[in-house]
Structure 1
């Protein structure tokens, strides 16, 4: 299979403060989209494939901690430190609804059927707003034991997932009864919780650990220690054979889902030029706060303290993504460490800098 030979990250500028949340829409007839939340108070919508800026949602007066799109990518939602959660028209950019809270709102999520918006934050309350009756009081479930950090829906909107900023564990709430029915135990607070696209797994990041849970029976499937404290993790949605994690060391790490082994940088030598497959990525200039795979798995995005979003291309997916092109055009399995790659890059000298620049630009198309 022809594999992508150049892995140059698309760097998306625009935010003036740290990027703290990212969310990809499902694939729609118009493609797929990426929304970002930042402490600069202005969520941004982009083309999920190219990273091109589409628009900025203006209206919040405080840091935006969380953002999401509904399944058709026609509406966006954001949760802010200005004590509000807002729903936006993703086509026109207009504010549709503003739901006032009594404290900072840290998380928001559209239900699968798009009729409901779930919010949580420093009030330690989970609220469910009916978007068909936006003026009606929200429904509140049992009080959360701590300040809410993340929220998500699962089981066709019958279950709510939430984690707290000040204690470990993920709590699962039955929507009908409003009660906690299960707790997934972790030692550290869970800073990232993602339900896999096929609904099979819950991926959590807590401290220096990434865990995978059975989303139906809630058992722990896998637990891997990370090379640093990580803030976010995401499972590849198509084959589920790898996952990414980002955190304080400013790298985006890629791991094998089945073994937990880090997939080293794949070195591709073609016509005496050196390219790097985006298997482990250094490029941010601050801690990585959020990572997410695109809905088709062809790329993944990372958001950082440095205010940028980087979209890393994985190329066409196969069941074995550890192949690298050799100089004669054949494929060979190659695994090297980041230090080895750094030494190889330092030893590489290309006289014509203009050609090098052109090559980097070509990787963006």
Structure 2
């Protein structure tokens, strides 16, 4: 069996994510440009332009209408999957390492790296249905351990956040 080759990125890839239906594949890379592919044949459907640093991670809403991306440019962006339009930009003082939508897509958990005087952190953002009502405020900020938090995801029923980092420890945090 020969693999389907999806070529289009100019720098190393950092993250891959299928949508819930499995027909779209999203890729992130150090070339600053998240990309969406048709999973069946590898056709490049589009790119999301706006980041100025490596894009470390992404997630797609359950209905495949929104994409969230985390970048070394110290931003997290919300995108319209179909049009590629930027809906909102969250600004942080350090690189955004991982992003994950909650079940229901009403919240997102975001990890940021230690940078200058800032420690690593886990941020919970409420995601507005209407992008014009989106705010920068965090619902919850958890100061992380020493070192980088490589990934944080929602636990069952969005009641916990599970994180893993460079210190080789998995932590389960109460999100309520």
TM-score (norm 2): 0.90
Q: Are residue 10 (structure 1) and residue 1 (structure 2) matched?
A: no
4+ residue stretches of structure 1 with deviation over 4 A?
A: none
What residue in structure 2 maps to residue 344 of structure 1?
none
Match for residue 345 of structure 1? none
Cα distance between partner residues in 2 of 1:175 and 1:49: 37
| Residue 171 in structure 1 maps to residue 171 in structure 2 | yes
Higher relative contact order (CA 8 A, sep 6+): 1
1:49 and 2:45 are equivalent in the alignment: no
Per-residue deviation, 1:169: 1.6
Say if 2:121 is the partner of 1:125. yes
After superposition, what is the alpha-carbon deviation per residue over 1:22-53, rounded to whole angstroms, capped at 9, x for unaligned?
011111xxx62110110000000111222211
Q: Is the 8 A contact 1:68 1:109 kept in 2?
A: yes
1:125-274 map, 5 Å: 125-132=121-128, 133-145=133-145, 146-164=147-165, 166-176=166-176
Distance 2:48 2:142 in 1: 32
Instruction: Give the SS at the match of 2:171.
Output: strand
* Local SS of the residue matching 1:15: coil
Q: After TM superposition, give the deviation of residue 161 of structure 1 in Å.
A: 1.2
Cα distance in 2 for partners of 1:34, 1:151 equals 21
Pick one of 83, 103, 106 that aligns with 1:115. 106
TM-score, normalization by structure 1: 0.44
> Could you give the per-residue CA deviations for residues 144-186 of structure 1, whole angstroms, max 9, x where no partner exists?
113211121120211111111x31021111111xxxxxxxxxx
Q: Give the secondary structure class of the aligned counterpart of 1:168.
A: coil
Q: Which runs of 5+ in 2 are unaligned?
A: 115-119
Provide the secondary structure at the position in 2 that maps to 1:156.
helix
CA contact (8 A) 1:43 1:64 kept: yes
Q: Specify the structure having the higher radius of gyration (Cα).
A: 1
How many residue pairs are counted as aligned between the two chains?
A: 166
Question: In 2, distance between residues paired with 1:78 and 1:120?
Answer: 11
- CA RMSD between the two structures: 1.3
Confirm or deny: 8 A CA contact 2:125 2:140 kept in the other structure.
no
Taking the aligned partners of 1:149 and 1:16, their CA distance within structure 2 comes to 23
Whole-Å separation in 1 of the counterparts to 2:122 and 2:41:
35
